[in-house]
Amino acid sequence: MITGDILGERTRLSPDAVALIHVPTRLQFTYAELNRRALQCARVWTDLCSLVPGDRVCILSENRVEYVDAFWAAGKSGIILVPLGTRSTAHELQQILADCGPRCLMYSARYEKLAQELQQLVAFEHLISLDAEDSVPKALSYAKAIEQVRPDRLPTKIQPEDIFCLLYTSGTTGRPKGVMIPHRQIAWNAYNTVVSWQLRQSDRVQVYTPMYHAGGLTVFMTPLFAIGGSIVLHDGFDAAEVLRALRDYECTLLFGVPTIFKMLLDSPEFAALDCRHLRWCASGGAPLPLQLLHAYQERGLTFRQGYGLTEVGVNCFAMSNEDSLRKAGSVGKAMMFTEAKLVDLEGNQAATNEVGELEVGELCLRGPHVCRGYWNNPVATAQVLDAKGWFHTGDLARCDEDGFFYIAGRSKDMIISGGVNIYPAEIEKELLDHPAIAEVSVMGTADEKWGEVPVAFVALKSGASTTDLELIEFLRPRINKIKLPRQIIFIEALPRNAYGKVLKLELQDRLNKDRLKQDRLKDDRLQNLESGVASKSNAVTPERKKLSY
């Protein structure tokens, strides 16, 4: 029986091994202790809140031990956990809550105000506060609640296809889609990662990416618990803290998105870091710039690039340390029990070119780590999961003659900013609610720090007026700040073809010309400033006063 109760199974084998170290408090927990806490959390749901298998529980919190409790409680009870993004607004989360119909909300004091807003919108049957001090009426204290229940095993018989959690990802239509993650997927992703990445019981790995994201939950936490290693849990990302903990706890593996690796590299603490205990680094979430990879390799570090999706498990490919050097830029070979293929626009197998490589095609994956589809959305499910079980990722890739895959781009309009997926449609949808806007198109543009950032092209209604600052302020309470356009470009009308489709190549050309113009203006200002500084005259003219200011 393949279920997601990995914690329970590991506790049976290694009850006294250290499972988790909580960085903010420096507390350590054995597998037996975490297992007891997870059972108590599950009993709070079933005994005190009268929840039954299939009911949904939302959690709104920073990374913390209670988040780990709730995750594994879902693995034991058959109750479905729904993590909520802490950067999202109440307006955004309302769409998710309307879709999944939760009965209970767990929340931390840090997000108490947002929890109150959601309670006004949804009226949860049960509220559970993860912190002692709380001003929300009728909220149950988690600390007091777990003292009222015994850590007894639950009688629920969980099947592999039962849903473990719903992880919401924004769709190309702007409507959030709940990815149905079954117990089978949680287990197989963990097993595959352990075997294919060759994890060890002695491995100690940090988790600082948010646990409302698949990366925080399943890149390393579930695989490390399967093999019996240790997780070092941060409540969020802080470069200096992460590097100190990496040193103090002698962590053996390091995972992050390219933006995080850039921030770590730029941190003053990085230069003095002793990395002898670090076996390798792994990057995922977005394409890894080769110059960043080389910068880590110059420090003598092995750097692997990974690939995965919430829908198919965050770990789908693997490579050895030797392959990471000779196949730089590759995400590796498909992991064990994973099938990968490339298809052309007609869905046929991609052709092989003259050097034995497969032509670029859409990447499709199949295996026991693929999700069940999207909650309450059979149409969206049918668009990505075909009758033979292949998941169509929408990402373009190529495969060399040795079977190593390289991500070539995205067929979808998705923007990846700092490892976070942003779909233009969700920004467009909100902007179109503004009374002055007739039409809008959002696309990504390159950014040195974040990889990509959104830019909006806006056409106004006849006689209407607004400014870019007004539009940003209009968006601010409606979407999370990482989705806010970094630039708004006003145009008379969006360029479209005969079928009404927006010609994004023309918009990209306009964006490139606009950026070139801005760069020239900066260069002109710099030259004027330098000529003023270089002048031998000591006279201070009005023009020079202006430049100095």
Q: What is the per-residue pLDDT for 349?
A: 87
Statement: residue 357 has pLDDT above 80: no
How are beta strands 391-399 and 358-366 bridged, if at all? antiparallel
Residues 171 and 221 in one domain: yes
Residues 340 and 486 in one domain: no
Q: Which of 315, 4, 81, 9 is nearest to 189 (CA)?
A: 315
Contacting residues for 41 by C-beta, under 8 A, at least 6 apart:
66, 69, 70, 72, 73, 146
Residues 372 and 454: their CA atoms lie apart, in Å, by 31
SS3 label, residue 334: strand
Statement: residue 358 has pLDDT above 60: yes
SS3 label, residue 72: helix
Residues 110 and 44 in one domain: yes
Q: What is the per-residue pLDDT for 526?
A: 58
Q: Domain range for residue 459?
A: 415-505
pLDDT in tens, 402-439: 999 998 876 667 788 988 878 787 898 899 899 999 89
| Amino acid occupying residue 278 | L
Region label for 78, one of left (φ > 0), alpha (ψ between -120 and 50) or beta (otherwise):
left
Residues 382 and 177: their CA atoms lie apart, in Å, by 13
- CATH number of the domain within which 340 lies: 2.30.38.10
Residues 479 and 413: their CA atoms lie apart, in Å, by 18
Contact call for residues 524 and 532 (beta carbons, < 8 A): no
Statement: residue 310 has pLDDT above 70: yes
SS3 label, residue 153: coil
Q: What is the per-residue pLDDT for 549?
A: 18
The most distant pair of C-alpha atoms in the chain lies apart, rounded to whole Å, by 88
Statement: residue 135 has pLDDT above 80: no
Residues 58 and 205 in one domain: yes
Q: Which of 71-75, 231-235, 393-397 has the lowest mean pLDDT?
A: 393-397
Residues 42 and 128 in one domain: yes
> Residue 49 gets which letter from DSSP?
S
On the 0-12 / 13-18 / 19+ scale of CB atoms within 10 A, 116 is middle
**Model pTM greater than 0.75?**
yes
Residues 60 and 76 in one domain: yes
- The length of the chain is 549
More confident residue, 206 or 448: 206
Tally of structural domains, the chain:
3
SS3 label, residue 433: coil
SS3 label, residue 182: strand
Statement: residue 548 has pLDDT above 60: no
Mean pLDDT, residues 515-525 taken together: 68
Residues 40 and 159 in one domain: yes
353 inside domain: yes
- How far are the Cα atoms of 68, 163, 216, 219 from residue 211, in angstroms, in the given order? 9, 18, 4, 10
